Structure 1
Amino acid sequence: MDLKLVRKIKGLSQQDVSDILGIPVKTIQSWESESRKTPAYTKKLINEKILNMSIYEMKDNLRFIVLNDNNEREYWGTKSECESYVKKFPTYTIVQYSELMKKQDYEKKYNEYIKELNKEEQEETVMVDNKEYKKSDIDFNKKYYGSLSEYTFAALNPQEQKACIEALKTLGYYDVAEHVESLNDWLQDDTISISTCRNKRDVVWILTDTQECCLYIDTLEELSQEEIEQQLL
């Protein structure tokens, strides 16, 4: 469905879509005017995200919070209102309300996860590229959020590494698959992620502007577009 039509259905302005998705309003305008081509996959994800938002989710995504130097809520409003407010307080920060709620939810789940571990498990560390990390932090992020942005390729287990490389080769990115620095870059910007499907199986999911590939980690079996929509979207 056309982005402009989706936007009109939900009663959103171009600025609203820009604020919700964190995409420059000029990019939204160029996509709608077709002066700039929208990658099919990007267009599909954007449309589905906006269409599936409830009115409460839209309000949360359009509300922004100003945090003071003590990380306390100082002011809230639209993004432009918050930007005007912080001009008087340059050290204050602006966060999207929905992202703030996600952060608080993350911290709550993390604390619950840590309580389930014994002292030895909580203190266990691993070395990744000469840096020391808590193993529990890595395991938590992979299990609950599929986020690898704080870590590197070396932090993955051998089967996860194999799945990443296989997915990259499937898309023709042999140069990325053969260089650890490139792999780390793709992991850190979440182009490569590990997610848990609705069927409880883990997958490596690679998303670029023009291509995607999703493989089950245990069997290296590729998911079809229909399976991706059923299991992950």
Structure 2
Amino acid sequence: MTAPLTPPPPPHEHSAQGSWQPPAAGPAAPGSQHAEYAEYAGHGWYGQDGPGMKTELREAAVITVAVALGGVLLGVLWWWLAPHVPLVGDVVEKNWVVYLKDTEGEQAIGVDGTFTLLGLGFGAVSALVVFLLRRRGGVPLVVGLALGGLLGSLLAWRVGVWLGPAEDVIAHAREVGRGVTFDAPLKLGAKGALLAWPLAALVLHLGLMALFGPRDPEPEFAAGPYPGSAAANGR
């Protein structure tokens, strides 16, 4: 008398013992299969890297104020290095008028160019310093750096005008006398020069982050059969 044959299980059907279960809570033993996947999951796909948003906003505010205060030094350098525009006063029909002494001179263009070059230099230095102090980057930091550069340019402009010759050229001409040469007040003719600092800082900082900034770790797949496969279940 023969024993009844047990019908084979349907294809692609796994028993309860052969199904893959998530690793149990707690530390996994080194070298085990669960340890490999625990290491893979530990790279932080769902984690948060870096400081919180409040910390980034505080750092961005500090950077904005620090960079903007550098505008005082930029204004002093602009007043010191910018070329002088010579003026001369005269009396026409009992009224004082002021003329450019050198009508073909390019001193006025040199004043704008000096401010632009100084702004580019200050932008490069501020971007490099911020990158060295805070290598992680972040949107608040970049916005703070650009905003600080713009405020620094505005402050430098006003400081240079304040340190320069008097803005009332008629009163100045009367003071020095008729036909005497005197310097024109500092004037920024091309207001686009105010953007040299923030644009240079923004471009250089983004370039440094792209070249030398931290990289996100790539996921490491452990060698071996995937859990739940036929090889992992000993089939």
TM above 0.5, one fold?
Answer: no
Question: Which structure carries more strand by proportion?
Answer: 1
Determine which structure has more spread, i.e. the larger CA radius of gyration.
2
TM-score, structure 1 length as denominator?
0.24
- Larger RCO: Structure 1 or Structure 2 (Cα < 8 Å, ≥ 6 residues apart)? 2
